[in-house]
Amino acid sequence: MINVTKTFLPPSEEYNEYLKKIWETHWVTNQGQLCEKLENDLKEFLGVKNLLLVSNGTIALQLAIKALDLKGEIITTPYSYAATVNSIIWENCRPVFCDIEDKTFCINPEKIEELITEKTSAILPTHVYGFPCDTDRIKKTADKNGLKVIYDGAHAFGVKLNDSSVFNHGDISTISFHATKLFHTIEGGAVITEDDKLAEKLFLYRAFGHLDDDYYSIGINARTSEFNAAMGLCNLPRVPGFISERKKINILYKNFLKDLPLVFPVIPDDIFYNYSYFPVFFRSEKEMISVKEILFENGINARRYFYPSLNRLPFINGPECPASEKSASCVLCLPVFNGMDEKIIETVSEIISRTIKS
Ligand X SMILES: Cc1ncc(COP(=O)(O)O)c(C=O)c1O
**Does the protein bind ligand X through residue 185 (CB under 6 A)?**
no
Q: Which is nearer to ligand X, 138 or 257 (CB)?
A: 138
- Least spacing, CB of residue 21 vs ligand X, in Å: 25
Q: Which is nearer to ligand X, 79 or 242 (CB)?
A: 79
Q: Which is nearer to ligand X, 160 or 178 (CB)?
A: 178
Q: Which is nearer to ligand X, 57 or 219 (CB)?
A: 57
Report the residue from 81, 97, 253, 275 that binds ligand X according to the rule CB under 6 A.
81
Q: Give the span between the Cα atoms of 31 and 324, in whole angstroms.
A: 40
- Least spacing, CB of residue 187 vs ligand X, in Å: 7
Report the residue from 5, 50, 56, 349 that binds ligand X according to the rule CB under 6 A.
56
**Does the protein bind ligand X through residue 184 (CB under 6 A)?**
no
3-class secondary structure per residue, the chain:
CEECCCCCCCCHHHHHHHHHHHHHHCCCCCCCHHHHHHHHHHHHHHCCCEEEEECCHHHHHHHHHHHCCCCCEEEECCCCCHHHHHHHHHCCCEEEECCECCCCCCECHHHCHHHCCCCEEEEECECHHHCCCCHHHHHHHHHHHCCEEEEECCCCCCCEECCEEHHHCCCEEEEECCCCCCCCCCCCEEEEECCHHHHHHHHHHHECCEECCEECCCCCECCCCHHHHHHHHHHHHHHHHHHHHHHHHHHHHHHHHCCCCCECCCCCCCEECCCCCCEEECCCHHHHHHHHHHHHHCCEECECCCCCCHHHCCCCCCCCCHHHHHHHHHEEECCCCCCCCHHHHHHHHHHHHHHHHC
**Does the protein bind ligand X through residue 80 (CB under 6 A)?**
yes
Report the residue from 121, 176, 225, 274 that binds ligand X according to the rule CB under 6 A.
176
- Least spacing, CB of residue 232 vs ligand X, in Å: 13
- Least spacing, CB of residue 64 vs ligand X, in Å: 11
Q: Which is nearer to ligand X, 150 or 257 (CB)?
A: 150
Which residues, 152 to 171, sit near ligand X by CB under 6 A? 152, 154-155
Q: Which residues are within 8 A (CB) of 111 and not within 5 positions of it... i.e. 6 or more apart? A: 98, 99
Report the residue from 66, 178, 184, 201 that binds ligand X according to the rule CB under 6 A.
178
Report the residue from 51, 64, 83, 85 that binds ligand X according to the rule CB under 6 A.
83
**Does the protein bind ligand X through residue 189 (CB under 6 A)?**
yes
What x/- string results for residues 125 through 154 when contact with ligand X is judged by CB under 6 A?
-x-------------------------x-x
**Does the protein bind ligand X through residue 58 (CB under 6 A)?**
yes
**Does the protein bind ligand X through residue 310 (CB under 6 A)?**
no
- Least spacing, CB of residue 130 vs ligand X, in Å: 10
**Does the protein bind ligand X through residue 309 (CB under 6 A)?**
no
**Does the protein bind ligand X through residue 57 (CB under 6 A)?**
yes
- Stretch of 50-58, 213-221, 232-240, 341-349 lying at the interface with ligand X (CB under 6 A): 50-58
Q: Give the span between the Cα atoms of 265 and 280, in whole angstroms.
A: 8
- Stretch of 80-88, 141-149, 271-279, 335-343 lying at the interface with ligand X (CB under 6 A): 80-88
Helix axes 285-297, 322-330, angle to 10 degrees: 30
